[in-house]
Amino acid sequence: MTEAVLGIIGGSGLYDLPGFEESEWVSIKSPWGMPSDDVRIGELNHRKVVFLPRHGRGHVFAPSDINYRANIDVMKRAGVTDLVSISACGSLKEAYAPGSFVLVDQFIDRTFARQKSFFGRGCVAHVSLAHPVSPALVDMVEQAAKLEALDYVRGGTYLAMEGPQFSSLAESELYRTWGCDVIGMTNMPEAKLAREAEICYSTVAMVTDYDCWHPDHGSVDIQDIIAVLKRNTEKAQRLVSRLASILPKDHVACPIGSDRALDFAIMTASDKRDPDLLARLDAVAGRVL
């Protein structure tokens, strides 16, 4: 059996978790470049937890400047089996008010300025993203949310925009016609790369505002967002702590095969594979290479 290691990618309030015992900041090198920061590794409720601040400590990286490949690679190197992304987002539906959480199950990727795959010339691979989150992990996140009496909804589509600017009104209205539930700037290509790395992935989208479509709320106000973010941080801390307490000691195999996504994904003939690329893929795809 494989030890379950909980990975958390999120904001600053989450690396000061109460009870994050014997934790330390660890620098992990990646062949994909510099990750956003060191990772903080320790124990929380008797489970190994690895935390990575997505934007770096002090929020130094804009969404488009994040090295998503390096971030996922270092989480894989740290042994993470189950990764939860905790992300601020805007709401595209009246029912999802600021302060509520959405356990996302689908994504629409509208980003265009980011490296989105570990694979390419010299080693081509195609993984399935029909169901981009891992249901067994979401089950545990939902259980934790219930036990903490959080205002949440399970299921929803996350529209990933490039940023760093917020949406125009026309864009916001367009995404609503597509049936999207929340909008953010960071979960793509993060979810795609986690699938390529065979890490079970789940998103907790923390609603901070109504984007700009809502007639009673007008344009996005950054001061209002920060105020809601602070309130959401305490809820997210409770959620993560509770999740660590219910995570099984041994990793639960993903019912949709997230943790074996590369079984039949690599298309390039073994004698045609680029040795330099294979060396960079040692952590991400070492199981099948």
- Is 152 annotated as belonging to a binding site? no
Given this model, what pLDDT does residue 113 score?
Answer: 96
Which helix (H) or strand (E) segment holds residue 203: the answer is strand 200-209
- Is 211 annotated as belonging to a binding site? yes
Residues near 43 by Cβ (< 8 Å), separated by ≥ 6?
20, 21, 22, 23, 49
Given this model, what pLDDT does residue 255 score?
Answer: 97
State the pLDDT confidence band at 71, using cuts at 50, 70 and 90.
Answer: very high
Given this model, what pLDDT does residue 219 score?
Answer: 57
**What's the rounded mean pLDDT across residues 75-103?**
96
Instruction: Check pLDDT > 60 for residue 218.
Output: no
The answer to pTM > 0.85 is: yes
State the pLDDT confidence band at 51, using cuts at 50, 70 and 90.
Answer: very high
**What's the rounded mean pLDDT across residues 52-63?**
95
Sign of CA pseudo-dihedral 245, 158, 130, 274: negative
Instruction: Check pLDDT > 90 for residue 129.
Output: yes
Cα distances from 15 to residues 168, 201, 231, in angstroms, run 33, 19, 16
- Is 65 annotated as belonging to a binding site? no
Give the catalytic positions in this structure.
209, 211
Instruction: Check pLDDT > 70 for residue 188.
Output: yes
Given this model, what pLDDT does residue 281 score?
Answer: 98
- Is 214 annotated as belonging to a binding site? no
Question: What is the Cα–Cα distance from 247 to 37, expressed in whole angstroms?
Answer: 25
Instruction: Check pLDDT > 90 for residue 140.
Output: yes
Instruction: Check pLDDT > 60 for residue 92.
Output: yes
pLDDT per residue as tens digits for the range 165-186: 999 999 999 999 999 999 999 9
Given this model, what pLDDT does residue 217 score?
Answer: 60
Please give the mean pLDDT across all residues of the chain: 94
Reference 185, options 62, 273, 73; nearest CA is 62
In the chain, the domains with their CATH numbers are 6-280 (3.40.50.1580)
